[in-house]
Amino acid sequence: MLLEEVEYVRPTNLEDALAVLADVDGAAPLAGGQSLVNVLKNRVASVDLLVDISRLAELRTIKRTPGGGLDVGACVTYDELDRSPLVRESHFTLGEVAAHIEDQQIRNKGTIGGNCCLSDPTNNLPPILVALDAVMNLRSTSARRSVQAAEFFKGYFATALESGELLVSVTVPPMPARSGAGYASLLVAADAKAMARAAAWIQLGTGGLTITSARVALARVANVPVRDAGVEARLVGAEASDAAVRDACSVAAEGLRPIDDVHGSSHYRLEMARVMAHRAVMQAVDQATAGRNGSESARRGGRA
Ligand SMILES: Cc1cc2nc3c(=O)[nH]c(=O)nc-3n(C[C@H](O)[C@H](O)[C@H](O)COP(=O)(O)OP(=O)(O)OC[C@H]3O[C@@H](n4cnc5c(N)ncnc54)[C@H](O)[C@@H]3O)c2cc1C
């Protein structure tokens, strides 16, 4: 279907974009347009004004934060995330997740902000951002606020964004020494949506193989990525061995009821969530013990 006629503006700075979004009822930000334009073409939703934010310089940068974290502008594309030397240097897994999203055309246009603001439960970036404990920085004409990634995703295509607000950047905390991240997805076909997905971050104690801190985010078991407090509690204090991690992950997604559909039963999805959690945590352990951001071990994870 063709796109219906719609008004379009391309503000030249962030302040102007925020002002238009505040002033015009029915205005919506347009980033990569990969999802929004399809939604409009299919008449699933309509907007009165598209506010193109994709070229705003303020939203296109990746900066190092003073502590060694990253501040990623909302309109940074997946390809830019993947190719960024800063991302590769300290947050390899984040770059690797972006590198494996769909195909090159999607990676050239799709943005970290669009991927998060859409809050599609099948999207790749939300779970890794939750596991990395990222912070979403929001702005409107009158206020600035920050929301933890784990609180930002509210439901199926729903976020903490309020009317007139833009996500301007995503701050990812530093990866301390002896910490690592991992990401694992189960795909039933090369171009299918993931059936189960997990992202993990762990910290090992100095000199030993004891896990001292852990974050595990599961996706596809609920409408939003969820931190698994049960698994995290079992990981902390455990030895970072395959057997101990498998045991900790055996309770993943407890109390959740993933959907039952033609692709797989709820029970199968739960089992696969446990397998993905184990794989993601073991990748994180590999990174942490490698003493760097684990480029080789993360690469073994394959397509995101
Ligand atoms: C064929 C195809 C395959 C795909 N496969 C994958 C895949 O495997 N994995 C994956 O993760 N994604 C996939 N996607 C989705 C794609 O990554 C989209 O680009 C993404 O979901 C939305 O990003 P966007 O920058 O295109 O945002 P847009 O489509 O421009 O916007 C999406 C929504 O977010 C809002 N928005 C955008 N930016 C902001 C902001 N800064 N502040 C506030 N609101 C904002 C828009 O108003 C809109 O409601 C696929 C898309 C297509 C078309």
Q: How far apart are the first and last CA of the chain?
A: 30
Mean pLDDT by groups of 10 residues along the chain of 304 residues: 91 98 97 95 93 98 97 98 96 97 96 97 97 98 98 96 97 97 90 90 94 98 96 98 98 94 92 98 96 47 42
The confidence score (pLDDT) of residue 192 equals 76
- Comparing 57-172 with 179-292, is the CATH topology the same? no
Query: Using a 6 Å cutoff on CB, does residue 30 contact ligand 1?
Result: yes
Looking at CATH, the fold of the domain delimited by 179-292 is given as Enolase-like; domain 1 (3.30.390)
Residue 160's contacts (CB-CB under 8 Å, 6 or more residues apart) are: 136, 138, 147, 151, 152, 154
Q: Which CATH class is domain 7-52?
A: alpha beta
Other CB atoms within 10 Å distance of the CB of residue 143: 10
In the chain, where are the structural domains located?
Answer: 7-52, 57-172, 179-292
- The model carries a pTM of 0.95
The confidence score (pLDDT) of residue 297 equals 40
Pick from 6, 14, 34, 109 the residue to mutate for probing ligand 1's pocket: most ligand atoms within 8 Å of its CB.
Answer: 34
| Spatial CA neighbour of 157 closest among 217, 117, 198, 112 | 117
Ligand 1 midpoint to CA 289 (Å):
35
Ligand 1 midpoint to CA 123 (Å):
8
Nearest ligand 1 atom to the CA of 166 is 42
Ligand 1 midpoint to CA 88 (Å):
23
Distance CA 226, CA 229 (A): 9
Query: Using a 6 Å cutoff on CB, does residue 33 contact ligand 1?
Result: yes
Distance CA 253, CA 72 (A): 30
b/e 180-189 (16+ beta carbons within 10 angstroms → b): bbbbbbbeee
Query: Using a 6 Å cutoff on CB, does residue 179 contact ligand 1?
Result: no
CATH classification of 57-172, choosing from 3.20.20.220, 1.10.3720.10, 1.10.10.60, 3.30.465.10?
A: 3.30.465.10
